[in-house]
Amino acid sequence: MAEEELSLFYVASGPEGRDRLLEGCLLGDVHTDAHALVVLRNPQLTARTVEDNNIQPTRSRRPASNMAANSATPPSDRRFLIFFDFDETIVDESSDDVVVQAAPGQNLPGWLKDTYRPGHYNDYMQRVLAYLGEKGVSESAIRSVIEKIPASPGMLALFQFLRHRPPQDFEVVLISDANTFFIESWLHRVGARQLFAKIFTNPATFDTHGRLVLRPFHTHGCLRCPDNMCKQVIVRDYVLRRTQERGRPFQRVFYVGDGANDFCPSLVLGPRDTAFARRGYPMHRLITEVHEARPGEFKAVTVPWTSGEDVVERLRKHVEDN
């Protein structure tokens, strides 16, 4: 088996949430440790998790049938898989911050701001949305401020590039700690909803009183991520499931993000894959720190971006080379 037939997806685990990254594997007969998951680029072989010392990778505690915002199985002929974050990646601001513009006086009271606890941001946003409901902020008012969020530089050009590629090129997936209402509202406004085969985010729906009710996406055991969402779990599970459904892995996996919660999923990318980290943002800084402190441990190719055009340039090279 040739070396290029291997794609490695690394799994973080352990009591301190440290990443023990695989140094290598034996070609032909997979040999690895408890922290590594190896996908063989061979249609006759399935992805497997290698376990040792009873150490289990972080798992989602959300039923598989509820994992995606849209349940239809994407076509199986796509060559590449690309994941996008939403806040400060697709859009140039945080939608959770922008929604405050719909509040009376475009501000939140101090007592509400003081309820935030690190690692429990979803709980905090539930209270924020409940407050907006109590103040009579309507669905249309919330939608209006969300729809006005500007796209990140070059992002709509990136969407156009993906939309006009042959259909067998890219399977496009969105993973965000925002919520379904914010994301769907914005994507529909710019005409980009159909680009995404799947959307993984926190569910949010209006109740009978017209209040937007937010719920957590899932629970998990990752010590690095907020309690309602670990994007690494989502990426790993999705790649495994799609590999099984397709009977073969994707040629390459790409991840476009900006935040600290986008660093965690980038750890499961292999050396053939690419982490597009927004330049100067937490994801970029964390990857840089790993490169400097432990050279060789972060396996994916890292491409900093300031514009979606930077992503287009690299993707165009891959589709032409393959």
Which residues have a catalytic role annotated? 85, 87
User: What span, in angstroms and rounded, lies between the C-alpha atoms of 198 and 267?
Assistant: 21
d(CA 67, CA 218): 8
Pick from 110, 74, 113: which is nearest to 97 by CA? 113
Alpha-carbon span 42 to 248, nearest angstrom: 6
Beta bridge partners of 80: 170, 252
Instruction: Say if residues 170 and 198 touch (Cβ distance below 8 Å).
Output: no
Residues near 186 by beta carbon (within 8 Å), at least 6 away in sequence: 90, 91, 95, 146, 147, 149
Single-letter residue type at 137: V
- For tokens 């990646």, name the residue: 89
Phi, psi (degrees; rounded to nearest 5) at 100: -60, -25
Both tokens assigned to 214? 């937010």
